[in-house]
């Protein structure tokens, strides 16, 4: 079986999240919304999801993403919420 698989189990040590190659993150000017575009579906991103995903460039590790967001959004619970969100994205196979 050669399916690419979605990320299950704990995130790998030193994980540097990046968008899956199947996924395109775009701002939709017509609807003023951020979208994840996939082969057969469109996901409308809410809240700060797109801001987090734009930092998933394969260079930053999880700590760097959290630090960047903490500096942009002082007081927001980024240390708890962001790793949990990215884990869910990994579970969906949209972030690897």
Partner 1 sequence: MTAAPRPWALLAELTHGCPLHCPYCSNPLELVRRSRELSTAEWTEVMRQAGELGVVHTHLSGGEPLLRGDLAGIVTAAESAGIYTQLVTSGVGLDGARLATLTAAGLRSVQLSLQHADPAASDRIAGHRSYAAKERAAALVRAAGLPLGINVVLHRDNLDALDAIIERGLDWGADRIELANTQFYGWALRNRDALLPTRDQLGRARDTVQRWRDRLGGATDLVWVVPDYFDGVAKPCMGGWGAVSLTVAPDGTVLPCPAAASLPDLDPPNVRDHPLEWIWDHSGAFNRYRGEDWMREPCRTCSRRAEDFGGCRCQAYALTGDAARTDPACALSPDHGVIRALTTDPGHPAGAGTPAPTGGYAYRKPGG
Distances from the Cα of 89 to the Cαs of 7, 17, 28, 86, in angstroms?
9, 10, 20, 5
Beta-strand (E) ranges in the chain? 24-28, 33-38, 41-45
Confirm or reject binding of residue 71 to partner 1 (CB under 8 A): no
In this complex, which beta carbon is closest to partner 1, that of residue 8 or of residue 71? 8
Confirm or reject binding of residue 26 to partner 1 (CB under 8 A): yes
For the chain, what is the largest distance between any 2 Cα atoms, rounded to a whole number of angstroms? Answer: 46
Binding range to partner 1, per CB under 8 A, among 10-18, 29-37, 51-59, 61-69: 29-37
Determine contact, residues 86/56, Cβ cutoff 8 Å.
Answer: yes
In this complex, which beta carbon is closest to partner 1, that of residue 23 or of residue 66? 23
Q: Residue numbers of the site for partner 1 (CB under 8 A)?
A: 1-6, 8, 21-22, 24, 26, 28-31, 35, 37-40, 42
């Amino acid at each position: 079986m050669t399916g690419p698989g979605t990320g299950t189990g704990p995130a790998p040590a030193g994980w540097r999240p990046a968008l899956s190659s199947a996924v395109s993150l775009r701002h939709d000017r017509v609807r003023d919304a951020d979208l994840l575009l996939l082969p057969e579906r469109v996901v409308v991103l809410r809240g700060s999801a797109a801001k987090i995903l734009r930092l998933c460039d394969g260079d930053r590790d999880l700590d760097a993403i959290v630090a960047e967001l903490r500096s942009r959004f002082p007081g927001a619970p980024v240390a708890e919420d962001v790793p949990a969100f990215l884990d869910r994205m990994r579970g969906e196979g949209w972030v690897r």
